[in-house]
Amino acid sequence: MTSTLSRKSLLLAGASLIGAVTLGVASMPAMAVTTATSNFGVSATVDPTCLINAGTPLAFGHYNGAAATGMTTISVTCTNTTSYNVGLDAGTTSGATVTTRKMAGATGGNTDQLPYSLYSDSSRTVNWGNTPGTDTVAGVGTGSTQTLTVYGSIPASTYITPDNYTDTVTATVSY
């Protein structure tokens, strides 16, 4: 009986020891994780910027000697609060100026030129040229696209060689 009792006592003692070890581990406080922090700055410099899109051609249609008008639009997108000026050059036809633009005939040998004018107002009285502060269109950017209308006219009583007349005008945004 001693050996049975001793075995039981040993088993019980062993079980108690295992339980005590298990309880001891389970009841130990968890190790705290130590952290450190640091901050860093973020920055960017936004430069004044403008984009310009001259849109569709200004088409006067068929001209028969009577005054003709037409219009097109220019889109300007500038960063918010950026002041800008949009100018229109004289075009590519020889002898043209910003106050007397000219379209050239398309047929070889045709030296005729069809005069026309471009304006910044719908009554066609304010010439649109390319000298900032004098004859350009000024504005202030909003960060969104702004549309400007170009108004054109051909004077009456211009009787020249029948042909297709064209010119190319460059729109420039200064900011």
CATH of the domain at 107: 2.60.40.1090
Has residue 77 been placed in a domain?
yes
**Per-residue pLDDT tens listing for the chain (175 residues):** 455 555 555 444 455 545 544 555 555 667 889 999 999 999 999 999 999 999 899 999 999 999 999 999 999 999 999 999 999 999 999 999 999 999 999 988 899 999 999 999 999 999 999 999 999 999 999 999 999 999 999 999 999 999 999 999 999 999 9
Whole-prediction pTM: 0.77
Has residue 104 been placed in a domain?
yes
Dist. CA 11–CA 30, nearest whole Å: 31
| Nearby residues of 93 by Cβ (< 8 Å), 6 or more positions away | 101, 102, 103, 104, 113, 167
Q: Where are the alpha helices (DSSP H) in the chain?
A: 2-26
What is the count of structural domains for the chain? Answer: 1
Has residue 55 been placed in a domain?
yes
Has residue 38 been placed in a domain?
no
Which residues form the domain of 81?
A: 50-174
Has residue 153 been placed in a domain?
yes
